[in-house]
Amino acid sequence: MSRSFVTVSRSRSEAVQFRAILAATYPVFVVAALLQRLRPGPAAPIGPRRSVFGEARAMALSAIPFAFMG
């Protein structure tokens, strides 16, 4: 019984860590998304175009899991 509690506690702890890292890195990704939009050149997106904030969130959500690998 204590083993399942440890698993739940660890899972909750990792979720809190993930949200904290997301909150800390999101402003960096917003700047990156803005710079990407301002960059001249052919930047034709495949599919519908996201907002700058949506693009930043997508970049953060794809990059942050690497911090939890290993």
Q: What is the pLDDT of residues 34-44, one digit of tens each?
A: 998 898 876 66
First-last CA distance in the chain: 27
Tell me whether residue 49 is in a domain.
Answer: no
When pLDDT is cut at 50, 70 and 90, the band that residue 27 belongs to is very high
Tell me whether residue 23 is in a domain.
Answer: yes
d(CA 7, CA 1): 10
Tell me whether residue 47 is in a domain.
Answer: no
pTM: 0.71
Tell me whether residue 25 is in a domain.
Answer: yes
Tell me whether residue 26 is in a domain.
Answer: yes
The boundaries of the domain holding residue 14 are 8-40
Backbone angles phi, psi at 39, to 5 degrees: -65, 130
Decide: 27 and 53 in contact? Cβ < 8 Å.
Answer: no
Number of structural domains the chain divides into: 1
Tell me whether residue 62 is in a domain.
Answer: no
Apex 48 CA angle, 68 and 24, nearest 5: 30
When pLDDT is cut at 50, 70 and 90, the band that residue 33 belongs to is very high
The CA dihedral of 15, 60, 22, 36, to the nearest 10 degrees, is -170
pLDDT at residue 57 is higher than 70? yes
Tell me whether residue 66 is in a domain.
Answer: no
Tell me whether residue 54 is in a domain.
Answer: no
pLDDT at residue 8 is higher than 90? no
